[in-house]
Structure 1
Amino acid sequence: MKILVMESSPHKHGSSNLLAAEFIRGATEAGHQTQVFDVARSDLRPCLGCDACGMSGPCVQKDGMEELRRRILASDMVVFVTPLYYFGMSAQLKTAIDRFYSFNDELSAKHLKTALIAAAWDSNDWTMQDLAGHYQTLCRYLHFNDQGMLLGTGCGTVSMTQSSRFPKLAYALGKSLTE
């Protein structure tokens, strides 16, 4: 299976990317092909809401979304990786997802497998509920086949994350994937 991992942390070596690396290690050991697209370091501009694409492209903006679109449509699975920012996904990931509008129909028809990996400082049981709800709504709307959510609470720093159970869980999620 071809897996695209969309990292979105402004901290290249932060907690969410640490969890993504463990997921990738597990998925690679399970025989899957993985590649990373770093939306935080890509030239992606926000959706203009101009509707020139009519939900089926092309987008009038010529930026990194053209490459991301190509990679998504060539994949069997997409993994959304984000730090938790004010109880939602990072602005960088949200910008990329908003741009799905320009190929909404094609993306929806693909029935991609997806997963969510997130890291949060906070350990409260309610910390991730809004992010999880947003992800589940995306899955429902775009006909994504959810393969799991890894919601790493108490992962505020790399050392906190490394000493938590979440790296092992991320590895196990990647390792558990089947075609």
Structure 2
Amino acid sequence: MLVLDEPTNDLDIDTLELLEGLLQSYDGTVFLVSHDRTFLDNVVTSTIAYEGDGRWREYEGSVQDWLIQSRRAREIAEQRLAAVATPAVAPPPPAASAASPARPAATPAGAPRKKLSYKEQREFDALPALIEALESEQKRVAEILALDGGAIYATDAPRATELAARHAQIDDELLTAMERQEELGASR
């Protein structure tokens, strides 16, 4: 195992290229900290990123893959937050006539529903299996990408890119499924 902290700080181009080549052919694990994104993109197969609030998350692929995946996750979270923050405008209540007294509201505004519809209940019941299947697929994809120290990145770059993209897509699908499960669970 190698641990490198800012290894490119004082290297000339030839030495930097030599270091990249050596790290690409190294069969062991390398923990690497660097601000040189190009260098990182050329040598890493997995990125561990600090995401604030004491949270660390591992991403398959380079720094660019991490930036794309984390941007997608933020966009999805922002869309969900915007959807919750701006609820659909409710139609005005029908005008009360003198013959029929107004009925009290069933639940106060903003209170969660007490019961899921049949369709929502079926969706809620199916979510654990979906989440488990996605996690299983993600694990298989990660194992393929990690085989032989990530050799697929050097031997079959297009396939590695495809698998890394699928890994990111699964992340998005998992996030969506887990958020939906939480949303439906809160409505029970």
Do both share a fold (TM > 0.5)? Answer: no
Higher relative contact order by CA 8 Å / sep ≥ 6: 1 or 2? 1
TM-score with structure 1 setting the length: 0.26
Q: Which has the higher strand share?
A: 1
TM-score with structure 2 setting the length: 0.25
User: In terms of Rg, which structure is larger?
Assistant: 2
